[in-house]
Structure 1
Amino acid sequence: MTIRFAAIGLDHRHIYHMVGECLAAGAVCAGYCPETSDPRVLEGFRERFPDLPVRSREALFDDPDVQVILCAAIPVDRPAIAIRAMQAGKDVMLDKPGAIALAQVDALERVAAETGRILSVCFSERFVVRACEVAAKLVADGAIGRVIQTTGLGPHRLNRAIRPEWFFRPEAFGGILTDIASHQIDQFLFFTRATSAQIIAAQTANRTLPEVPAFQDYGDVLLDSGAARGFIRVDWFTADGLPTWGDGRLFLTGTAGSIELRKYIDVAGRPGTDHLFLTDHKGTRHIDASAEPLTYFTRFLADVRDRSATAMPPGHALMVTRLAIQAQQIADGNAPRRA
């Protein structure tokens, strides 16, 4: 059975790989709604997918042949779109973060349970990184024993001139930990096989943009699952000299070895992306993971067809989102933010 999907919420460029990978996995796009807060995102979408039909948002929600909604709207708007889609009988793939407030997470959890629909969040720093696919296989095979600690680094280039105005408003995007650190929280839970965790400490700072005092350009988090610990650092300090948007890295410490992922670049080293370094009882070696197939999108579509959960365990997406929001609240010193 061919899965038909639609794209609603063209506000972040992550919609490009969400749509592109679903098409590559064999799904058919029934159309997209052109509503956007950033005309440059829409322009880029049309350049990449010139043949996809334009349809109204409500027409896509109401089309009984559309089985999945993909959404990369302004983060604060994503939960309402997901809820509308699930209540219309459709499964959902959201860009991260899936929500920016705990009340939104509660609502998503409730509606997903009521409707029986699949609610997934595309954590692209794992699902669109081929080195993560290889690392997942190695960890599953016991190559480094049991993972007891992760260190996730998520530096990004600010590219201030091309960012939409909502990008600098925490009430719209949730803050640096809610947003970027959700990637690293996802990786911590996945690689340590934890289903939940506690935020031990979290902090944020604005080091370079005093004229935008509510914006945060640095954040870190310490979390603990009882059986493993994780440290996360995210920032907007990638220098212009780096030939990619960020030197994202992931370190996995196991009871019998370690893995380092240099996801997007091996600085002043090997060319290309998706470098994996394995240390075990046999020695050390570099693995070129750049040709490893991506599996999330194929599995997600299979889950839609088979009503299974191979792409992401039930509840994982919302647990990651909840922890990211809690970390943000601790860093902000706020009571739980409700929306």
Structure 2
Amino acid sequence: MPKIAIVGAAHAHVEYVLDELARPDRRAWELLGISDTDPALAERYAERMGSTAFAETQALLDAGPAVVYLAGRYGERGRDALAALRAGAHVIADKPLCTSLDELDEIERAIDGTDLTLTLLLEKRGYPETIAALEVVDSGELGDIVGITSSGPHKLNASARPDWFFDPTQYGGIIGDLAVHDLDAALLFAPADTAVVHGAVAGRDHRGFARYGVATMQTQSTIVTAEVSWMTPQASDVHGEYRMRLVGTRGTAEIHWARSRVDVTTEERPTRALSLPEGRRPAQDALDSFEDGAVPPYSTTADAIAITRLALLAQRAADSGSAMRWTRTTRTAIDEESR
């Protein structure tokens, strides 16, 4: 029976794993307990799940979980990931995995040479629209993908957000938080191992919290622009009008995640809406992989570290005004303007 612990429950994405564990086909899992900086929060979720709330994270880790899920305050996740790895546990993390490149380097050093796995819940990979669009791209129908633009607006719902969310030292930045999904999706459609990365933010309030940001990366073959914001109008019928446009040498695809639609137009065929397959739940593949011990999660350790590094570099570029070079397999961030 796999044993799992939840370290940090401050973000609503804790529900990804809680919902998965509540499924009848997940009865093989044992939830050892839940810890959080806010004891009342840990108690609330533990009571709901019939589990135990732990006041101290280390006490929970000492109980011997095989897997740890991280969904706490963003600024605490790097520390918690290191603690879990040092306790010998595999890690499933909500994004962002951490809020600084130094933390990421330390996490990578901690996992190097071990048989542990770190997986990041990049849920857009499992959306039906992404799966359908990827099938078309892989078929070659669009030709070579040369341009990708995405938009990821969200409702802020400020009154429901905790204070830590607006603290730049805990939040880390809008690009590290939101653009990570679209940068990851872009690399599914146009794989690359190196890129020059830029970033910019706007709409900062008196606390330094930015409500709008753009990340761009240029690879050898593709230009990617990812716009994100906390500025979806409150009266909108969706939380965010998430979309992505793929421009290929022989056609285009318009992905409308919020509207459950993908439109494809090519040199040979007029615009058509793709039939959408069944999607995957955000934590489904991660728990499947740890449950049977044979199938690697859809987001591997290398993927989790590489895409986190890419998003953090874009955030650093936005904060510093300097371009950064991202390389999938290295820890070193190069300031392009200083070369």
TM-score by length of 1: 0.84
Per the TM alignment, residue 146 of structure 1 is displaced from its structure 2 partner at its CA by 3.1
Q: 1:314 to 1:85 in 2, by over 3 A?
A: closer
Per the TM alignment, residue 245 of structure 1 is displaced from its structure 2 partner at its CA by 1.1
Selected match of 1:292 from 252, 257, 278:
278
SS of 2:112's partner is helix
- Whichever residue aligns with residue 97 of structure 1, its letter is P
Task: Give per-residue Cα distances to partners, 1:176-196, cap 9 Å, x unaligned.
Answer: 111111111111222212234
CA distance in 2: counterparts of 1:21 and 1:286, whole angstroms: 31
CA distance in 1: counterparts of 2:138 and 2:50, whole angstroms: 39
Q: 1:13 to 1:295 in 2, by over 3 A?
A: closer
Q: CA RMSD in A?
A: 2.7
- Whichever residue aligns with residue 318 of structure 2, its letter is A
Give the number of aligned pairs.
Answer: 317
Query: What's 1:176 paired with?
Result: 174
Alignment of 1:33-52 (within 5 A): 33-37=34-38, 45=45, 50-52=48-50
Task: Give per-residue Cα distances to partners, 1:1-58, cap 9 Å, x unaligned.
Answer: x543221110100111233246547362414315254967975x57xx8334124233
Per the TM alignment, residue 107 of structure 1 is displaced from its structure 2 partner at its CA by 0.6
Query: What's 1:131 paired with?
Result: 129
Task: Give per-residue Cα distances to partners, 1:71-99, cap 9 Å, x unaligned.
Answer: 11111111111111122221111111111
Query: What's 1:62 paired with?
Result: 62
Query: What's 1:206 paired with?
Result: 203
Alignment of 1:164-243 (within 5 A): 164-199=162-197, 201-206=198-203, 209=205, 212-243=206-237
Structure 1 stretch 166-175 or stretch 277-286: which is displaced more? 277-286
- Whichever residue aligns with residue 188 of structure 1, its letter is A
Q: 1:69 to 1:119 in 2, by over 3 A?
A: same
Tell me if the contact between 1:7 and 1:19 (Cα under 8 Å) persists in the aligned partners. Answer: no
Q: 1:288 to 1:20 in 2, by over 3 A?
A: farther
CA distance in 2: counterparts of 1:38 and 1:147, whole angstroms: 48
2:270 is equivalent to residue 283 of structure 1: yes
Aligned residues with identical type, % of pairs: 26
Structure 1 stretch 66-75 or stretch 100-109: which is displaced more? 66-75
Tell me if the contact between 1:296 and 1:311 (Cα under 8 Å) persists in the aligned partners. Answer: no
Q: 1:71 to 1:296 in 2, by over 3 A?
A: same
Query: What's 1:28 paired with?
Result: 29
2:309 is equivalent to residue 322 of structure 1: yes
CA distance in 1: counterparts of 2:223 and 2:316, whole angstroms: 20
Gaps of 5+ in 1: 266-273
- Whichever residue aligns with residue 58 of structure 2, its letter is E
- Whichever residue aligns with residue 133 of structure 2, its letter is A
Gaps of 5+ in 2: 325-339
Tell me if the contact between 1:3 and 1:301 (Cα under 8 Å) persists in the aligned partners. Answer: no
SS of 1:189's partner is helix
TM-score by length of 2: 0.84
Selected match of 1:147 from 145, 148, 153:
145
Q: 1:111 to 1:23 in 2, by over 3 A?
A: farther
Per the TM alignment, residue 301 of structure 1 is displaced from its structure 2 partner at its CA by 3.3
SS of 1:33's partner is strand
Tell me if the contact between 2:200 and 2:321 (Cα under 8 Å) persists in the aligned partners. Answer: no
Per the TM alignment, residue 114 of structure 1 is displaced from its structure 2 partner at its CA by 3.4
SS of 1:246's partner is coil
CA distance in 2: counterparts of 1:190 and 1:38, whole angstroms: 39
